[in-house]
């Protein structure tokens, strides 16, 4: 089945710095979803991207889907301590839209 590679595995930033995580695939993706998991918590849906070149914004978060639909990124502007957690990209596919997760990027923020 389709897999996604997610980088970096870890990212430590000072509060106020920007953060970006990348998701890459060797095959064309029909869609990609992003989830956030706080430490000790459960995955929480952030967004779904479907269209080639799509860019969506949620406050300080910017999500992009590549033109070839083989990569995606999540960018956080001016990180805050509340942004701490693991950010996962995930593919929705199969007969009932099962999710295939990337390995995630753990973001820590130094206040």
Residue 79 CA neighbour count, 13 Å, CB half: 21
Name which of residues 63 to 102 contact other proteins (CB under 8 A).
Answer: 88, 90, 92, 94-102
Sketch the per residue contact string, 23 through 52, with other proteins: x for CB under 8 A, - otherwise: --------x-x---x---xxxxx--x----
In the complex, least distance from residue 16 CB atom to other proteins, rounded to whole angstroms: 28
Work out whether 105 is an interface residue with other proteins (CB under 8 A): no
Residue 44 vs 55, nearer CB to other proteins: 44
Phi, psi of 68 (to 5 degrees): -85, 0
Residue 2 vs 80, nearer CB to other proteins: 2
Residue 37 vs 77, nearer CB to other proteins: 37
Residue 88 Cα distances to 9, 37, 46, 58, 71, angstroms: 10, 8, 10, 16, 13
In a 10 Å sphere around its CB, with 0-12 CB exposed, 13-18 middle and 19+ buried, how is residue 78 labelled? exposed
For the record, the structure tokens of 48 come out as 């779904």
Binding residues for other proteins, rule: CB under 8 A, are 31, 33, 37, 41-45, 48, 88, 90, 92, 94-104
């Amino acid at each position: 089945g389709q897999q996604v590679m997610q980088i970096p595995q870890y990212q430590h930033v000072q509060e106020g710095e920007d953060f970006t995580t990348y998701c890459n695939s060797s095959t064309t993706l029909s869609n990609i979803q992003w989830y956030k998991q706080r430490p000790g918590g459960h995955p929480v849906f952030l967004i779904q991207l479907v269209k080639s070149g799509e860019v969506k914004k949620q406050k300080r978060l910017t999500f992009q889907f590549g033109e070839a639909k083989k990569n995606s990124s999540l960018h956080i502007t001016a990180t805050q301590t509340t942004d701490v957690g693991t950010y996962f990209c995930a593919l929705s596919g199969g007969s009932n839209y099962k999710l295939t997760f990337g390995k995630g990027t753990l973001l820590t923020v130094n206040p």
